[in-house]
Amino acid sequence: MRSALAAFFVDTNVLVYAYDAGDPTRSARARACLRRLGEAHNGAVSAQVLGEFFVAVTRRIRPPLAADVAEAIATNLSRAWPVFDITDASVLEAMRAVQRYQFQYWDALIWASAKLHGIPTVLTEDMPSGQLIEGVRFENPFESTFNLARLD
């Protein structure tokens, strides 16, 4: 069942690149993706993604964002997009995907959240672009062949 809420589940790496001054090309592309998704009301994330975003932008990028700035960004995102909780069903589905598809657990949890909420596409650079697993397709928005107009 497809979610009426969104068509694209956004992985942490897309959000982080939007604020990573160390990679201006990916940053511009990530910002363009987020802008289009925001205008179309077509994006979603999970509580996991918001938490990973906070850690990554306050500790891993250079220069890091101040914690209050990262919190404000996550808060604004949670007000603008659906944010899916991590549930026992999503954890169990992720565990199944780790075993069946050899996903890393955190990637499996992203996939499980999208699958359980009927979101057909995950935007990420962490999985092979175009791969379709049980109705969820992974797309890398940083590939030159990715058409931003798809996000509308």
Omega cis (within 30) before 63 = yes
pLDDT of residue 3: 47
Burial profile 17-54: b = 16 or more Cβ within 10 angstroms, e = fewer: bbbbeeeeebbebbeebbebbeeeebbbbbebbbebbb
Given this model, what pLDDT does residue 111 score? Answer: 98
3-state SS, residue 27: helix
pLDDT at 1: 36
What is the residue extent of each domain of the chain? 8-144
**Closest Cα to residue 80, out of 42, 125, 53?**
42
The sign of the torsion formed by the CA atoms of 107, 110, 114, 117 equals positive
User: What is the reported pLDDT for 5?
Assistant: 75
Rounded-to-integer distance, Cα 64 and Cα 26, Å? 16
Please tell me the predicted confidence (pLDDT) of residue 2: 40
Name residue, tokens 């589905």: 93
The ranges of the chain with pLDDT < 70 are: 1-4
Under CATH, what is the fold of the domain 8-144?
A: Rossmann fold (3.40.50)
| C-alpha to C-alpha distance for 23 and 57, rounded to whole angstroms | 13
pLDDT for position 4: 54
Q: Letter for the amino acid at 128?
A: P
Q: What does pTM read for this prediction?
A: 0.94
Distance of alpha carbon 71 from its chain centroid, rounded?
Answer: 17
